[in-house]
A and B are shown apart, each in its own frame.
Chain A
């Protein structure tokens, strides 16, 4: 079963535990500037939204890469950077419509979410379940359930 990161911004408090976990897992340091997941604050609206790579099936980044440095991880379905092949040309950062591939000036390579090989640190660290790692086919399940709960079938029951 393939799994996906599922993000529910309504539950996010903006604590950036996900960013800390991500940077520590991938860079060995607590550094939100090096996180593959980002929490955006919309101050006026009072909203917090975590955002990261959605692992597109036909990933633009992968197709744009001139040196085949982005490959599909057979186990998780994530699109992973092969650091040794990456030449830091940044074409993938332009190709990605969502901005979730970014250049790391310390290494001269690009970085993106690789689902931590199947156990994403951001989801484990999130204290409010705003980020979960769930069955890729049913990421809409909670929202369906919420709407289902609002459905009035009292009329049917009494008919």
Chain B
């Protein structure tokens, strides 16, 4: 129950759309969304396949709580093998598309093969068909959204699309739904474009019923909404400042990676912070932030809706950027700002708009620009490579220009679209790429927040903050405070966060509820809505099962223990200021203990006991 028990299987090579029953046994073991779709991937996809070839599959998956009244219950994930990392990729998005898909009657959509012509998938409840996207190819996400709404004469259609960056091969292209919510990381949009699939357009009017105990579920949802409302982070910090509440906090803790992680503190942090977004601009008398906004069913509403000053150099004579759209979240503001040294809020907002408009990950993009700026700084690239643009740290012009070029894949934009690892390798300085498994770091320096170093090194989708957010404990003290500068106890902490998160990401709920909730708060939602008995222990064990399944996929894909590492800079160059001054990441102290806690062999593979204990497929 709570599942629709239906999977839509779309074969792009043959142009067919078929309904099949959900594997309900797997649903009991892997819940939905991230976990369940990974189980399908493991069963159906050769882990060694070319991520951009027809043998890879692309799964849009909802969770059992997606589309219900549980607060934040509107999430979906896209699961595939990622082109940036060669590892399992799972990108999670909010907005309204996930709930619409569920309301149309589908737990997930599995897309396989490759279409020989551009197509989009149109779903109206149980009817699904592939339609020609000849007129959409070469268009941005925003244009695609507008054209599809016009074509179908249906303003209530929910649309997810990849942009021009994906079409031109950007390896960190995402899938954008509802104009500015994104399954952003690891190149899931690149896979979509490689299949000649431009968009999903979904209309669902069946609704989500099939709740095991409706009265208890409604009572649970009501109680747990109150818990979110009463918590200082979910009830006040996030609605008021969004995730950007973190900019000044992380900067003060000396863990704000700056100028390609050369430094750990950014003197322009205040100017690009959430607080600054509320300040009235001198130029046009408006603040950057117009309002906060919610995704489907979310009672937190951390989303930012922003404008750029119409006279700003980035949007002069470009009225298409004068209205409101999705504003800066913390990770984006960090990557586009602190990491590149650019402290101009409107330029960052512009770059963020372009990331949404043409569907590329602002974290990977910003971090890649930062790497290019360091290459430029040391003379490894010159204006000859950069089409004449001076790629100096702090250059707002270079950042805005780079976003325009990556959007279309033109000139030096094609180099930047490779991501920082391939860019730095191409120009002879692989050590300057701040990546793990090919994916760029997010906004927390592992020298100042030691647990995050281990979390990055072991993340199944490459460097990521959303796979084990120990920042919550090490900086914010949630659920309990640990010292960010020590490595002791971090192996267990990282494992616990990773397992909890893997379960959370499989339910249909947003991870941001975890500032106020634990699995003890998630469990009653699951237990009252879904078949089976669900408590926090079962969710935790399920999370561990999902984590290990992802790991197993990666090892089959050819990754090894040697990939569980950090860039040399994190391991050898000490933080130059702040509380972490003189510290490097103590990864070597944490990793062996982590393997032990995980029940993995020294070569990084799952031990037979672990596989058996978690009932993983052989």
Task: Check if A and B associate.
Answer: yes
Nearest-CB residue, chain A, relative to B225: A127
B195-217 Cβ-contact flags toward A at 8 Å (1 or 0): 00000000011111100001000
Chain A residues with Cβ below 8 Å from B325 are 43
Is B297 an interface residue when CB atoms closer than 8 A count as contact?
yes
Asked if residues A31 and B207 are in contact (CB atoms below 8 Å), the reply is: yes
Chain B residues with Cβ below 8 Å from A47 are 291
Interface of B is mostly: loop
Chain B residues with Cβ below 8 Å from A94 are none
Asked if residues A13 and B301 are in contact (CB atoms below 8 Å), the reply is: yes
Within 8 A of A (CB), among B320-356: 323-325
A48 to B294, CA, bound (A): 10
A21 to B208, CA, bound (A): 12
B264-306 Cβ-contact flags toward A at 8 Å (1 or 0): 0000000000000000000000000011111111110101011
Interface size class of B (residues with CB under 8 A): 35 or more
B36-68 Cβ-contact flags toward A at 8 Å (1 or 0): 000000000000000000000000000000011
Nearest-neighbour CB distance to chain A for B277, whole angstroms, equals 13
Contact of B103 among A13, A31, A46, A48 (CB under 8 A): A31
Size of the A side of the interface (Cβ < 8 Å), in residues, is 27
Once A17-B299, A43-B323, A44-B323 are accepted as A-B contacts, the answer to whether A30 and B293 lie under 8 Å apart by CB is: no
Nearest-neighbour CB distance to chain A for B285, whole angstroms, equals 16
Is A79 an interface residue when CB atoms closer than 8 A count as contact?
no
Once A45-B323, A46-B324 are accepted as A-B contacts, the answer to whether A15 and B290 lie under 8 Å apart by CB is: no
Chain A residues with Cβ below 8 Å from B99 are 32
A13 to B305, CA, bound (A): 10
Asked if residues B324 and A28 are in contact (CB atoms below 8 Å), the reply is: no
Chain A residues with Cβ below 8 Å from B207 are 23, 27, 29-34
- 19 residue pairs of the A-B complex, CB under 8 angstroms, read A13-B301, A13-B303, A15-B294, A15-B295, A16-B294, A16-B297, A17-B297, A29-B207, A30-B207, A31-B208, A33-B204, A34-B207, A43-B323, A45-B324, A46-B290, A46-B305, A125-B69, A127-B71, A127-B301
A124 to B68, CA, bound (A): 16
Is B475 an interface residue when CB atoms closer than 8 A count as contact?
no
B302-326 Cβ-contact flags toward A at 8 Å (1 or 0): 0101110000000000000001110
Chain B residues with Cβ below 8 Å from A27 are 207
Nearest-neighbour CB distance to chain A for B146, whole angstroms, equals 11
A32 to B203, CA, bound (A): 11
Contact of B293 among A14, A34, A44 (CB under 8 A): A14
Is B179 an interface residue when CB atoms closer than 8 A count as contact?
yes
Once A13-B292, A20-B69 are accepted as A-B contacts, the answer to whether A29 and B209 lie under 8 Å apart by CB is: yes
Nearest-neighbour CB distance to chain B for A113, whole angstroms, equals 18
- Which 9 residue pairs spanning A and B have beta carbons closest together? A31-B207, A15-B294, A46-B324, A44-B323, A46-B290, A13-B301, A127-B299, A33-B205, A29-B207
Chain B residues with Cβ below 8 Å from A23 are 207
Asked if residues B208 and A14 are in contact (CB atoms below 8 Å), the reply is: no
Chain A residues with Cβ below 8 Å from B128 are none
Chain A residues with Cβ below 8 Å from B218 are 24
Nearest-CB residue, chain B, relative to A24: B69
Chain B residues with Cβ below 8 Å from A13 are 239, 291-294, 298, 301, 303
Is B519 an interface residue when CB atoms closer than 8 A count as contact?
no
A87 to B127, CA, bound (A): 29
Asked if residues A17 and B229 are in contact (CB atoms below 8 Å), the reply is: no
A27 to B103, CA, bound (A): 14
A4-38 Cβ-contact flags toward B at 8 Å (1 or 0): 00000000011111001101100111111110000
Nearest-neighbour CB distance to chain A for B590, whole angstroms, equals 39
